[in-house]
Amino acid sequence: MLRILYCGAAIAALSVGFAAAPTLAQDGDGAITIGADVDAGTLDPRVMRDTTAYRVANLLYDGLVELSPTLEATPGLAESWENPEPTVWVFTLRDGATFHDGTPVTAADVVYTFESILDPELASRWRTLFTPISEIVAADDNTVRITLSEPYAPLLSYLDIGIVPANLVEGGTDIGTQPVGSGPFMLANWERGSTIALEPNPNWWAGEPSVAGIDFIVVPDNTARAQAFEAGDLDLIQSPLSPADIQRLADETDIVADIMGGLGVTYLNFNTQDPLLSDPQMRRALAMLVDQETIVEAIYEGVDVVASSVLLPSWPAYSPDIQQPTFDPDGAVAILEQLGWSDSDGDGTLDRDGEPLTLTLSTHSEDPNRIQAVEYIQNVMRGAGIDAQVSISDWPSFSGAVQNSQHQVALLGWLNLVDPDRLLYGQLHSGGALNWGGYANPTLDGALDRGRTTLDPDGRAAAYQEAAEIIADEVPYYIISYQGYQVFHTPEIEGYEPNPRGMMRSLMDN
């Protein structure tokens, strides 16, 4: 039973600049309450698109493997696996695993899950991660055999995606709103825009979690979420958070704080299909008007790190020698002049052939730091003679527009970057399902293909370094910062192991 509470202090703080915070729910039976920045769009793991969905689905569903906080593949539904040939993987499912409706999890469910993800009709954003699978078969009820078209280095890192019940989905059950997984928790209640309440699964194969439940409370504004935590209405909050709140909470002695490097980036996505942005030199000039240092140090107050390329420092492929364009307004103006843009009529705005240089920067309303960042970039660009406009909309509208390539330059982020392939292949390969900017470069495609298929670590690093050099030169993406990860919780939560992916499974025994 949910008891509805109003967090007066947190809501009052929103009287300027933001809509009122939603009602906060807290479980009177001792459930752990977690602040979420957005509501889940769907709880079908095959088509989930947002961070909240990913974190909730990780509790509702089991994958073949579970990734540890150090990104090691550990047994999930698969109790063991072997790789007898470079292109063959055999997974043995554990006995006794059942879905929430009591039906056994079988190899047929695993096969159905991946075949449906690979079906273009489903339009799964994860499809690109599994296209190297040429065949997946159930050798028997407990054995799954995956055959690859070629060796695929990051495969295990992606097999934590939730397995769905084939019979229910085929029978018409909408697992996006009525999720049925085999994970440690089950959906108890979902109030759209407010609360996703989970209860422990008494029949989970590893034993029923001892925690009474986990409730995700949607509080879109970062500061309101931090204030709700301080007011006692939330037990745990994590990135994204406002820098000032991070610094304040980190100094509190009665709060447990974990601050670490994350597995995410904040970046600019250039729509290379837009006529204005199709020239790499134009994109390079615009990148040179992005003052990373000020954005990271003044707006994000140092909780992130200035990025040098698309390669994260935690990846073995990282090289400090690879450098994307840096802040250089004079150099940017010089490039624009070479491209034929000039202030021909003296009004302060560059034009070419009678057309002003107009550009729209966009981001979403739920993150005030991203709003400040695009507004700051807008001011710098205007100082260089660009008629820069800003478009701010809520996350569903913004993300929908970007995913349909209805943007020019969008500021957003990627999380859960467990491997270079996760950031680069789907997003920047010409055939990538997440290539919303429409970028295409055959040489880059070749490097990304080699990064996937090369099993030798040094060979993989070389492939991704080649890819990073191309991206730094042609700038389809501009990485503003490497994100930090922060989580704060009450001392009553014991034994919690922070996970830079934001996963919550270590809460099960509280």
> Of 115, 137, 135, 110, which is closest to residue 126 (Cα–Cα)?
115
Q: What is the dihedral of CA 327, 332, 335, 340, to 10 degrees?
A: 160
Task: Give percent of the chain with pLDDT exceeding 70.
Answer: 94
For the chain, domain boundaries: 2-60+183-235+490-507, 65-170, 263-484
What is the Cα–Cα distance from 374 to 290, expressed in whole angstroms? 9
**Residue 508: per-residue pLDDT:** 87
The yes-or-no verdict on residue 480 having pLDDT over 60 is yes
Protein fold of 263-484: Dipeptide-binding Protein; domain 3 (3.10.105)
Tens of pLDDT, residue by residue over 370-390, are 999 999 999 999 999 999 999
What is the Cα–Cα distance from 347 to 488, expressed in whole angstroms? 50
Residues in the chain: 510
Full-model pTM: 0.83
What is the Cα–Cα distance from 501 to 67, expressed in whole angstroms? 10
**Contact (Cβ atoms closer than 8 angstroms) between residue 342 and residue 350:** yes
**Residue 29: per-residue pLDDT:** 62
> Of 225, 228, 267, 237, which is closest to residue 485 (Cα–Cα)?
237
Tens of pLDDT, residue by residue over 3-24, are 222 232 232 232 222 233 333 3
**What pLDDT band is residue 30 in, cutting at 50, 70 and 90?**
confident
Compute the radius of gyration of the chain from its Cα atoms: 23
**Residue 26: per-residue pLDDT:** 39
CATH superfamily of 2-60+183-235+490-507: Periplasmic binding protein-like II (3.40.190.10)
**Residue 509: per-residue pLDDT:** 79
Protein fold of 65-170: Dipeptide-binding Protein; domain 1 (3.90.76)
Label the pairing between strands 358-364 and 409-414: parallel
What is the Cα–Cα distance from 54 to 36, expressed in whole angstroms? 12
- Residue 221 has phi, psi (to 5 degrees) of -80, 130
Tens of pLDDT, residue by residue over 40-80, are 999 999 999 889 999 999 999 999 999 998 889 999 999 99
Tens of pLDDT, residue by residue over 237-247, are 999 898 889 99
The yes-or-no verdict on residue 360 having pLDDT over 70 is yes
**Residue 22: per-residue pLDDT:** 31
